[in-house]
Structure 1
Amino acid sequence: MTLTDTLITVLILLTIAILAYLKMTNKTLTDFISEIREIIKNEKEEVIDLQ
């Protein structure tokens, strides 16, 4: 029960932080998701280049 409460609390805080970031930067959720995808894609490319 404690683990569930903790996970729910962390999820709520993360959601609030993301919404605040989007509000401050005047971006939409799709812009945010595309930024995250681009970051992940760039990291994968760097790992491939290192190998």
Structure 2
Amino acid sequence: MTNTSQEIQKLLSKAEGSIDKTAQLQQALARLEATLSRKETQKVTEMSIKRR
């Protein structure tokens, strides 16, 4: 019985670690998307200014 409980605890710990890593990856992707969006907006603005 304790062996099963220990296995469950190990699996829960691994799952929690995976959730944390997933959240960190999502945050990193969000930062990348924001950076790319700002760069794209900056380029569009610069192109617009040059056309004037």
| TM-score w.r.t. length of structure 1 | 0.51
| Larger Rg belongs to | 2
How far apart are 1:14 and its partner, in Å? 0.1
Equivalent residue for 2:41?
18
**Of 27, 32, 44, which aligns to 1:4?**
27
In the comparison of the two structures, how many residue pairs are matched? 27
Q: TM-score, normalised by structure 2?
A: 0.50
Higher RCO structure, 1 or 2 (CA under 8 Å, sep 6+): 1
Q: 1:22 Cα deviation (Å)?
A: 0.1
- Across the aligned residues of Structure 1 and Structure 2, the Cα RMSD in angstroms comes to 1.5
Query: Letter of the aligned partner of 2:28 in structure 1?
Result: D
Higher helix share: 2
Moved over 6 A (4+): none
Cα drift, residue 4 of structure 1: 0.3
Quote the Cα distance in structure 2 between the aligned partners of 1:18 and 1:3. 22
Q: Give the unaligned 5+ runs of structure 2.
A: 1-23
* Structure 1 runs not aligned, ≥5 long: 28-51
Deviations 1:2-49 (A, max 9, x none): 00000000000000000000000118xxxxxxxxxxxxxxxxxxxxxx
